[in-house]
Structure 1
Amino acid sequence: MKTLWLLVLSFPLFFSAQTEEDLYTELKLNLPKTKNTAKEVRVEPDEIYLDKKICFILNLNDVDNEGEKKQTEYGLVPYFYEIKSLKGELLFFGVAKKDEAGNWKGIVDFNIIGKKAYRNPKVTGATRLMENLVANNVFNKDCSVNLDNLKQFYEKSNQTR
């Protein structure tokens, strides 16, 4: 009886312990893969690693510390980020803000290919962007970008239209 009681009490904990991280699924676009395609990504506060090698600089700007917001071409936002090459070239610029329902929404400029205003509910920040790009074979092990796959990723999954 004691075991049953413990089981009943712990049952809700199992379901409440699920986080957004647990429920996250990547975009699956079936883009071409090569032997040089990077397989894993790790996003740190200032750097992004591909296959355990530092490849990109990450500038996170959380301006919402005291209710502040930054003016961008997408309006006032509490959070924005830049992903740059190790040489300092801006590859991606993204903003994140909450909609009227309180859900986070992201908008990304793909500067490296001259594309703007990318939106997809699975891409709400720098970490989700990088996870989805790696999952869709956009980066190579040498930190270079597969531009063909990046363009296909943009075209196939952009929901701005």
Structure 2
Amino acid sequence: MDIIGWILVVVLFIVGMAGAVYPILPGALAIYAAFFVYGFFISFKPFGFVFWTLQTIIVAALFIADYVVNAWGVKKFGGSRASVIGSTIGIIIGPFVIPGFGLLIGPLAGAVIGELIVGSSFDKSLKVGFGAIIGLLSSTLVKIILQLTMIILFVIWILM
């Protein structure tokens, strides 16, 4: 049972890290689920209140940062609420419409369309779209760092 547990934990960690780059996958939640899989298959003994509190705080920070950092990129380049909404929709829909490049084109197009809808010039809309890409890349970097932190804390806790 230990081997099955470890295989599932590693698979969930891989899915989680892939989710940092590909937002359709449940990144942080997959990593969080790996802790429960470890507990059910191997042992909950290494984990206590501090472990669960830290991990829950990181998961909450990931969800908040995901939206805030993306919105920051759009707002930093002069975007409106419509371009923030358009960028968010583009992040979700883009990978399905244009596999591979949709992850970058989606938020760019969504922000540009959102900004054009509120009457901005095409040049300003492109600038805001670029901000959406900067926000997406910044958000991805933050997610990778925080999710790696979750995994490192897990390893530290089980080795203690």
Scaled to the shorter chain, the TM-score interval is: under 0.3
The structure richer in strand per residue is: 1
The structure richer in helix per residue is: 2
Instruction: Report the TM-score when normalising by structure 1.
Output: 0.26
Higher relative contact order (CA 8 A, sep 6+): 2
